[in-house]
Structure formats: C-alpha cells, structure tokens
Amino acid sequence: MVLSRWEPFREIETMQRQMNRLLDQIAGPGETGDILSDRLTFVPPAEIDETPEQVTLRMEIPGISPQDLDVKVAADTVSVTGERKSEIKEEKTGMRRSEFRYGKFQRIIPLPSRIQNDKVQADFRNGVLCLTMPKAEEEKRRVVTISLPGQDQKELTGT
C-alpha cells in the first residue's frame, strides 16, 4: 500500500481551475475579455407599493438619461426598456477595471391590480423612475369573500 500526502490547498486550486474552465465554456469571453461580466445583463431593482387608490412603482436606473428609456404601461403590466451606454475610451497604457454593467435591458413587471393606464404619472429624478398609477374603478370597489375548506365543515357540524 502506497501512502501519499494529502494537500488540501492543491485540491482547492484544481477545483477552481475546473470551475473556471466550465464557466468559460458556458459564457465565453465577451468584448472586454471578462467572461461573466460581459454576459450578465443589467437588471434595475424595483419596488411596488399598493394602496386602495393607486399602485406606485419605483425603479432605480442610475446613469441612464430619460431619452434612453422606453416605458410602456398596460392595464396589468409595466415594461421598462433602456440602454446604459458605455463611455469607455480605449487606453493603450495602464490598467482599467470596471464593475459597471452596460448594454440594453428590459424589465416587465406584473402589477398586483388593474390600473387606468391612460392616467399614469411619471417622474424621473436622481436615477429613480417613479410611476404613480391609479387603480381601475372596478378594482377599487371589488371585494371578494373567500370560503376556506375548514369554514364549510364548521357550518355543517354546527347545524
């Protein structure tokens, strides 16, 4: 029986090289040569607030001008499409690293209630898009009573 010395750090390095090769095969290098950052898309974060009268959508889109955004509102969804344009200038000397995401994006957000899409108010300040969308009249008056399975059984046993 041959004994060999266990070197855990060498195994970790081997596993890291294998994972890098796998990611190279999946993504492939992009324009800047950085395998993953060129393939990942920019997805702006959003938050939705709902009141009985309206739905408010806020979306962080820093570094993009209003001219580069296309916002479409349907009765039950909001679609925001845009492009963050790169301002990278080619440098022959020195080193440059950027963690910004550039390129086109599209985000389609389903709304929790139907809205009056012809009465939407939009605001875009400091890189934050804010849409105030009044609810449709039928949504404001709509009340739904839900019957639970346990409630039906109680009514039957109580009579």
Across the chain, which has 159 residues, the per-10-residue mean pLDDT values are: 79 85 62 46 86 94 87 91 73 65 84 90 92 86 69 47
**The domain 44-87+100-141 is classified under which CATH number: 2.60.40.790, 3.90.50.10, 2.170.120.30, 2.40.30.10?**
2.60.40.790
58: its two tokens: 């806020």
Model pTM above 0.75: no
pLDDT digits (tens, 9 = 90+) for 24-63: 666 544 444 444 444 456 788 999 999 999 999 999 998 8
How is the chain split into domains, by residue range? 13-42, 44-87+100-141
Contacts of 48 (CB under 8 A, 6+ apart): 55, 56, 57, 58, 109, 111, 112
**What residues are paired with 155 via a beta bridge?**
none
pLDDT at residue 7, as a whole number: 81
pLDDT at residue 88, as a whole number: 61
pLDDT at residue 43, as a whole number: 80
pLDDT at residue 27, as a whole number: 54
